[in-house]
Amino acid sequence: MIVAFSISPTSGDADGGVADAVAAAVRVVRESGLPHETNAMFTNIEGEWDEVMAVVKRAVDVVAAVSPRVGLVLKADIRPGRTGEMTAKLDRLEQAITASPEATEGGA
C-alpha cells in the first residue's frame, strides 16, 4: 500500500517551531527504512498496512509532543500483494503519456 499523508501542527514559535515539528515527523519516516518520498504537500510511504500506519502514528506522536493539536490528512492506495508501486505507477503514466496521440501531435 501507498499512503500519502500530511501532518500539521497547530502552533509553533516564530523561530521555526512548525518547520522543526514537521522535520521531526519526516525524520521518523526516513528512519523507518520504508520506501518514501517527501514533496511540498505530502509525504508518501509504501509498505504493509501495519508498518505504514505505525510510522504515521509515530510521526503524529512526535508532532503532538510539541503542539497542542495536530491535523492529519491521509490518502491510501491499498493493493495487497503489490510492491514498488510508488515508482511503477509513474512508469505506467509516462508510458501512457508517450503512447498517446497527443504526444505526437504537439498536444499538452
22-41 pLDDT, tens digit each: 999 999 999 999 999 999 99
Contact 58, 28 (CB under 8 A): yes
CATH number for the domain whose boundaries are 2-79: 3.30.70.930
Is residue 24 helix, strand or coil? helix
| Residue 105 pLDDT | 58
- For the chain, percent of residues with pLDDT exceeding 70: 87
61-78 pLDDT, tens digit each: 999 999 999 999 999 999
From residue 91, give the alpha-carbon distance in Å to each of 1, 4, 20, 74, 75.
17, 18, 34, 23, 20
Stated pTM of the model: 0.82
Distance CA 100, CA 94 (A): 10
In sequence order, what E strands does the chain have? Answer: 2-9, 36-38, 43-46, 70-77
